[in-house]
Structure 1
Amino acid sequence: MTQFAGVQILRFVAAMLVVVMHTTQAISIHMTGQGHGHYWANGSAGVDIFFVISGFVMAMSTRASPSDGPSRLQAAWVFMKRRLLRIAPLYWFYTFLKVALLLVLPGLAARSSVESGHLAASLLFIPAVSPWGLIEPALPVGWTLNFEMFFYAVFALALALGAPRLRFCLFTFLLIFLAGRLAPEFVPLAFYAQSIVFEFILGICIAHAWLHYRKVSPAMGPLAILAGLVLMFGLGRDASSDRFLTWGTGAALVVLGAVWLEPWTARTRLAANLSFLGDASYSIYLSHTFVVPAAVLVLRQLGVQSSLVIVPAVCLAVLVAGCMSYLWLERPVTTFLKRTFFRPQVLSYPHPGKLP
């Protein structure tokens, strides 16, 4: 599929927003003593950017999917297999790393413990109540991957049926959303029945607009991005506001602006280097949960107290560790698995793009 350098760069930005959020939380826990509830919550909007990008990339990468029955089934299977090979191995690695650390050093994380049933659900991307009482997997940041895999499964079903992806996903999400209100006691259903799932739909809509209405000046890109930033960070968000209406729509405007800006972004000298950081964003996202608390504790031991020093230093450490994870672990493993499980030219339509 066509590579969008601006979208790749935005993936990196989204990952770093989450990193900054967790860094401020680690400072609150390990330095100021204010606990888990005091941190820069707006950094979580990086997840919403990820979800919009996911919808956009999946729609763009399957725009020429086959129409006959057997080919549709094969396309759906290959699509899902590619997604699993892209997402699962690295996630499983860091999940088992977390489990190993907790077994060796049980006091390492106050809100984590190991329970076999919960661990199995985590590895299978099934939402379940954790031993510490929250609906999140053994590696807590993996809650976003539960949503991602749910979206991939619904999208693959649309491919298999030959149904319009936008309408099929929207209708399915609406059914789940309503069903979750009727049966809130069923944990997976209650988990998926959140408005955040509709952010994937926003990404599909952006792809549809790009494919059918391309006559938008790149000069409109900064305006869309500015409007999105105001929605996400300028207006603020409290517990009573709906995430989809604030961070979700804001994220969609930022992604739309990045797509509109692409003719300009692709010509910049730094685009290729920054796109590499987008490639590494998944490794950054998963590995930062180990690097952030460790780096904050090291800086505390060194006597560093200023958040203005701690946050950039931790982000730099996360960036280095994430790039190392990508170059030495994620990319080699993904390449090996693709060569093992795929023959050349399995399908006639473009290879799915990279996702966080």
Structure 2
Amino acid sequence: MTQTDRRASAGAATRPRNEGAVTEEVLVPQAPPAAPVIVAGRGTGRDRLAALDGLRFLAALSVVLFHFAGQTPGAMQVIWGRPYQSVFPALHDYFAFGRLGVDLFFLISGFVICMSAWGRTPRDFFISRVTRLYPMYWIAIVVSACVIYFADTPFGHPHPRVLLANFTMLQTPLGVSNLDPVYWTLWPELCFYLTFAVVVWKGLSYQRVVIFCGLWTVAAVLAPAAHIPLLTLVVNPTSAPYFIAGMAFYLMHRYRPTPLLWGIVAMSWLLALHFLLAPTGGRNNWETWAPWRGWLVLAVTLFFLMVGAIALGRTRRLRWRGLTVMGTMTFPLYLLHDTLGMTVAHHFGDRFDPLLLVGVTVVALVVLAYLVHRFVERPMVRAMRRSLKSATFVPQPPARHR
């Protein structure tokens, strides 16, 4: 590490050990004083950004409310047994915007994954990502499968091979439908982890993350025009701008804002809006949902502004521990709410007031998410991490016997 890097690292709070050194002095901005550091999915209130946890929970809650009260008229008819106009006549149009909570998820993921990977070896990064995704995902699949196959649900009864393929989390490239519709977001996340692992393998640095952002932006732009299905499958053009902007925001948080980083964020914002407002083949299906374009622009812009405020330290004083707890519940809530919540609405939608039913069910799902995380997911993660850390990835040749 050069003398310049030592000066840059001195101001960063809780800087991870063994960080890849940045040797190009002209590209290394000075680290902001007392910059807080977040570790994705773990840690105490001291090493997390509480505002980011709270924002992630709000994104999950918006998706939950969307599935209850903001889906397409056809889906609402199937779930509630009657037209949405008679269920949520005044709220449907507002809750419909909850589908954009997924885009906020991706934006936060770019920030969090870049932060959590900094200073880690490829082995540590692999273990952290596998144990972050798979234990809770497997729990959700078991719960969803029990509900789908043994109860009357709006999800039908998929072929058992769908269940088996979903356990791998590779159902999208396998051409198999998701057991639960919300699982579609896991493939873009997984692709991000796999491609970003190359940067982790080379050693994370300011330059390499910037180069990765640039290459992924170019690939996201070229993929739709290249008509190469494999490239589009891996690059995920409509989701990529959010991940890329999140990484750029993290670099602002770790070092300082620069014109280059603002340029990456601006380009990602423009591409995100392009794919969202595209008439065909974009992020939104205009045949099922066609709000005023200005509201979409405003929502996406608000997402960028909120994460940007966190990156620039504007929310540094927000340290309420409850937000950190909410952050730990986000993944269980997201994975469990759809099958369970829609089944409850399907069975009891005509027996109780819809708003009361939604309120009670959402509260119950939040409590369930906390209990599952605390008593099921966390022990599984710990056991899985111990197992993987003790495993030998490159076996030694057997000793020769004399």
Q: Report if TM-score (shorter chain) is over 0.5.
A: yes
Runs of 4+ residues over 4 Å off in structure 1: 128-131, 241-245
Match of 1:92 among 138, 148, 172: 138
Q: Which amino acid counterpart does residue 322 of structure 1 have in structure 2? A: A
* RMSD after superposition: 3.3
Q: Which amino acid counterpart does residue 154 of structure 1 have in structure 2? A: T
Where 1:265 maps in the other structure, the secondary structure is: coil
What is the aligned length? 302
Where 1:264 maps in the other structure, the secondary structure is: coil
Superposition deviation, residue 20 in structure 1? 0.4
Distance 1:296-1:239 versus aligned 2 partners, 3 A rule:
farther
What CA deviation, in whole Å up to 9, does each residue of 1:219-274 have, x standing for no partner? xxxxxxxxx9xx99xxxx877396598455432222222443332212xxxx1022
Q: How does 1:224-235 map to 2 (within 5 A)?
A: none
Aligned 8 A contact 1:122 1:138 in 2 = no
Superposition TM-score, scaled by structure 1 size: 0.73
Q: Residue 178 of structure 1 aligns with which residue?
A: 222
Distance 1:127-1:188 versus aligned 2 partners, 3 A rule:
farther
- Structure 1's unaligned 5+ residue stretches are 66-74, 216-227, 344-356
Superposition deviation, residue 280 in structure 1? 1.0
Q: How does 1:180-219 map to 2 (within 5 A)?
A: 180-183=224-227, 186=229, 189-190=232-233, 192-213=235-256
Q: Residue 279 of structure 2 aligns with which residue?
A: 240
Superposition deviation, residue 340 in structure 1? 2.6
What is the distance in 2 between the residues matched to 1:129 and 1:46? 26
Superposition deviation, residue 116 in structure 1? 1.5
Match of 1:304 among 352, 362, 366: 352
Where 1:138 maps in the other structure, the secondary structure is: coil
Q: Which amino acid counterpart does residue 305 of structure 1 have in structure 2? A: D
Where 1:342 maps in the other structure, the secondary structure is: helix
What is the distance in 1 between the residues matched to 2:217 and 2:146? 36
What is the distance in 2 between the residues matched to 1:118 and 1:174? 35
Superposition deviation, residue 153 in structure 1? 0.7
Q: How does 1:1-356 map to 2 (within 5 A)?
A: 1=37, 2-24=47-69, 25=71, 28-31=77-80, 33-34=82-83, 40-64=95-119, 75-105=121-151, 108-110=153-155, 113-116=158-161, 119-120=164-165, 123-128=168-173, 136-162=177-203, 164-172=208-216, 174-175=218-219, 177-183=221-227, 186=229, 189-190=232-233, 192-213=235-256, 240=279, 243=283, 246=297, 248-259=300-311, 260-266=313-319, 271-297=320-346, 299-300=348-349, 303-307=351-355, 309-342=356-389
Aligned 8 A contact 2:68 2:341 in 1 = yes
Distance 1:112-1:252 versus aligned 2 partners, 3 A rule:
farther
What is the distance in 2 between the residues matched to 1:263 and 1:179? 38
- Structure 2's unaligned 5+ residue stretches are 1-36, 38-46, 85-91, 259-268, 285-295, 391-402
Superposition deviation, residue 51 in structure 1? 1.0
Superposition TM-score, scaled by structure 2 size: 0.65
* Bigger RCO (CA 8 Å, 6+ sep): 1
Where 1:195 maps in the other structure, the secondary structure is: coil
What CA deviation, in whole Å up to 9, does each residue of 1:47-86 have, x standing for no partner? 1121111111122223345xxxxxxxxx123202210111
What is the distance in 2 between the residues matched to 1:192 and 1:127? 13
Superposition deviation, residue 5 in structure 1? 0.7
The percentage of counterpart residues that share the same residue type is 23
Aligned 8 A contact 1:125 1:145 in 2 = no
Aligned 8 A contact 1:180 1:193 in 2 = no
Q: Residue 354 of structure 1 aligns with which residue?
A: none
What CA deviation, in whole Å up to 9, does each residue of 1:143-193 have, x standing for no partner? 111111110111111111347123224413532552343335x37834744
